[in-house]
Chains A and B, each alone.
Chain A
Amino acid sequence: MKKEAIGVSVGMVVFIGIIVVKSSLYTVNEREQVIITQFGEPKGKPVTAAGLHLKSPFVQKVNRIEKRILEWDGRANEMPTKDKDYIFVDTYGRWQIIDPLKYFQRLRDERSALSRLDDILGSETRNTIAKHKLIEVIRTTKDRVPVQQDDILEADRTGTVGILPPITQGRSVMEKEIFEKSRAKLQEFGIELLDVRFKRINYNQSVQERIYIRMISERQQIAERFRSEGAGEAAKIKGNTQKDLKKIESEAYKEVQTIEGVADAKATEIYATAYNASAQTAEFYEFVRTMELYGEILGGKSTIVLSTNSDLFKYLKTVNVEKVGEDGAVIGSP
Chain B
Amino acid sequence: MFEFEVGGRRVQLQVPKMQARLVLAAGAILLLAIGTLTAVYTVQAEEEGVVMRFGKYIKTEQPGLHLKMPFFIDRVERVKVRRQMKQEFGFGTRGHSNRSQWTEEQNQEKQMVTGDLNSALVEWVVQYRIDKPQEYLFNVRNADETLRDASESVMREVVGDRTVDEVITIGRQEIESESLQKLQELVNKYEMGISIDQVQLKDVNPPVDVQSSFNEVNQAQQERSTLINIANGEYNKVVPRASGEAEQAVTEAEGYATKRINEAEGDATRFTALFTEYEKAPEVTRRRIYLETLQTVMPMLENKIIIDEETKHLLPLLQLNPGGTQR
Contacts and interface: CB of A to CB of B under 8 A. Distances in A.
Interface of A: 4, 7-8, 27-31, 49-52, 66-71, 73, 76, 90, 92, 94, 134-135, 138-141, 144, 146-149, 151-152, 160-165, 171-172, 194, 197-203, 208, 211-212, 215-216, 219-220, 222-227, 229-231, 233-238, 240-241, 244-245, 248-249, 251-253, 255-257, 259-260, 262-264, 266-268, 270-271, 273-275, 277, 280-281, 284-285, 287-288, 291-292, 294-295, 298-309, 311-313, 316-317, 332, 334
Interface of B: 1-4, 52-57, 108-109, 111-119, 137-142, 145-146, 149-150, 152-153, 156-157, 160-166, 169-171, 174, 190, 206-207, 209-210, 213-214, 216-217, 219-221, 223-228, 230-232, 234-235, 238-239, 242-243, 245-247, 249-250, 252-254, 256-258, 260-261, 263-265, 267-269, 271-272, 274-275, 278-279, 286, 289-291, 293-294, 296-298, 300-309, 318, 320, 322-323
A140 B113 CA distance: 13
A282 to B, nearest CB: 10
A288 B207 contact: no
B117 A270 contact: no
Contacts of A304: 298, 301, 303-305
A149 B170 contact: yes
A322 B308 CA distance: 17
Contact of B217 (A148, A226, A309): A226
A332 B242 CA distance: 50
B289 A76 contact: no
A236 to B, nearest CB: 8
B190 A69 contact: yes
B304 A275 contact: no
Contact of B149 (A67, A71, A212): A71
Contacts of A202: 108, 111-113
A27 B54 contact: yes
Contact of B139 (A69, A76, A275): A69
A73 to B, nearest CB: 7
B163 A223 contact: no
Contacts of A273: 268
Given A147-B166, A226-B223, A284-B278, A274 B304 contact: no
A22 to B, nearest CB: 12
A256 B322 contact: no
B152 A50 contact: no
When A and B form their complex, which 10 residue pairs have the shortest distance between CB atoms, in order from nearest?
Answer: A29-B55, A263-B257, A230-B224, A252-B246, A267-B264, A274-B268, A237-B231, A226-B220, A299-B300, A230-B227
Given A164-B115, A198-B153, A306-B305, A222 B217 contact: yes
A61 B309 CA distance: 171
Contact of B261 (A90, A203, A238, A270): A270
B305 A212 contact: no
Contacts of A263: 256-258, 260-261
10 contacts: A28-B56, A135-B117, A140-B157, A197-B150, A219-B216, A230-B226, A256-B253, A309-B309, A332-B320, A334-B323
Nearest to A258: B253
A90 B300 CA distance: 116
A8 B4 CA distance: 8
A304 B227 CA distance: 72
Given A302-B301, A307-B306, A259 B119 contact: no
A51 B55 CA distance: 5
B225 A230 contact: yes
Contacts of B223: 226-227, 230
B70 to A, nearest CB: 16
A7 B15 CA distance: 13
A134 B117 CA distance: 9
A222 B220 contact: yes
Contacts of A149: 165, 169-170
B227 to A, nearest CB: 4
B296 A300 contact: no
B144 to A, nearest CB: 11
Given A197-B153, A301-B302, A303-B305, A312 B294 contact: yes
A259 B142 contact: no
A220 B213 contact: yes
A247 B319 CA distance: 60
Contacts of A141: 161
A76 B108 contact: yes
A30 B268 contact: no
A197 B152 CA distance: 10
Contacts of A194: 190
Contact of B190 (A94, A163, A271, A277): A94
Nearest to B151: A199
A259 B246 contact: no
B3 A4 contact: yes
Most buried by B among A90, A219, A287, A307: A219
A280 B279 contact: yes
B271 A275 contact: yes
